[in-house]
Amino acid sequence: MSWSSLLALAMVASPVAPTSAGSAALPSTTTTTTYHRVDVDGTGVFYREAGPADAPTIVLLHGYPSSSRMYDTLIPLLATRYHVVAPDYVGFGNSDAPAPTTYTYTFDHLAGTTNALLEKIKVDRYVLYMQDYGGPVGFRIMVKHPERIRGIVVQNANAYKEGLGAKWTNIAKYWADRDAHPEQLDAFVGFEGTRLRHIANSPHPERYNPDTWVDEFAFLSRPGQREIQAELLYDYRTNVASYAAWQQWMREHKPKALILWGRYDPSFIAPGGEAYRRDLPEAEIHMLDAGHFALDEANDEIAKRVLDFMQRLTP
């Protein structure tokens, strides 16, 4: 029997079932992420958006050296119920990266631009989700506009000196004399530092996609990035100097808080997560079996805890 005859016989014996309404792919109406760029004071700022526009908003603030892309796996899980906005800071991701001669790279300025973006797209009441650099950006926004904050989610975003890991002792040398310590900047923007930011100390390195740090290093290798990141690394000293003020703000305003901390993070160590309890005794704190970029290891757990937290918030 020929191959064509066998194929015809097989098709008769095992007909392909027609596609039913129950098995057909359904169009997504709330979890489709859309991508936008808007002009903020002459600078193009990129952001991702998903979820129903009339639902409570969660603003996702990314870390270093990532972008809003770090939330790609989290956004669809939150956007089934909530409106999600995830911007890229100026100098990161798909936002413009003007030279430091035309844009002042300080955390004050990043926060100001990010706040101006939220105002421009009419997001004026939200929960702030902060990771790493998202902490100093988010705290500055909170201090300026406490009336806009429904609650905070902190994921390895440090606000306490006891949360600073061993490497910060050497970075402090850069703050004292940046020209004398180029090795600190070299490590900060180098490939190995970028890789270890994900997998260092983790007992589960197999859970990390190496494409992530390869892409981040490619970003850091773009023309002009070394100069941009040098400015922000130097300005990070202002964040440590602001810890006491941020702690006082939390004591005074008592925001509802969910603290999610990757316990293996060598940069922002676990005592920094536990320390939030001093100023927010009612905060919900969870130490996760994860590292600095906890979403790489515990995305589903984080999504569940954020959804539960959001459901308990008052309007």
Instruction: Just list the catalytic residues.
Output: 292
Strands (E), 4-156: 34-40, 43-50, 57-61, 83-87, 126-131, 149-155
- Any idea what the Cα angle at residue 194 is, between residues 189 and 200, rounded to 5°? 140
Alpha helices in 105-236 (DSSP H): 107-120, 134-144, 167-176, 182-189, 191-199, 210-220, 225-235
In angstroms, the CA 122 to CA 35 distance is 16
Left (φ > 0), alpha (ψ -120 to 50) or beta: where does 224 sit?
left
Rounded to whole angstroms, the Cα distance separating 54 from 288 reads 32
| CA atoms of 263 and 240, how far apart (whole Å) | 21
| Contact between residue 213 and residue 291 where contact means Cβ atoms under 8 Å apart | no
Q: Which of 92, 74, 94 lies closest to 84, judged by CA?
A: 74
Comparing CA positions, the residue from 81, 135, 70 lying closest to residue 310 is 81
Peptide bond into 65 cis (omega under 30): yes
CA distances from 119 to 60, 141, 171, 181 (A): 15, 12, 34, 39
Task: Give the Å distances, CA to CA, from 162 to 40, 102, 238, 243, 274.
Answer: 36, 35, 16, 11, 10
The owner of tokens 């999610």 is 260
3-state secondary structure of 273: helix
Q: Which two tokens stand for residue 299?
A: 């995305």
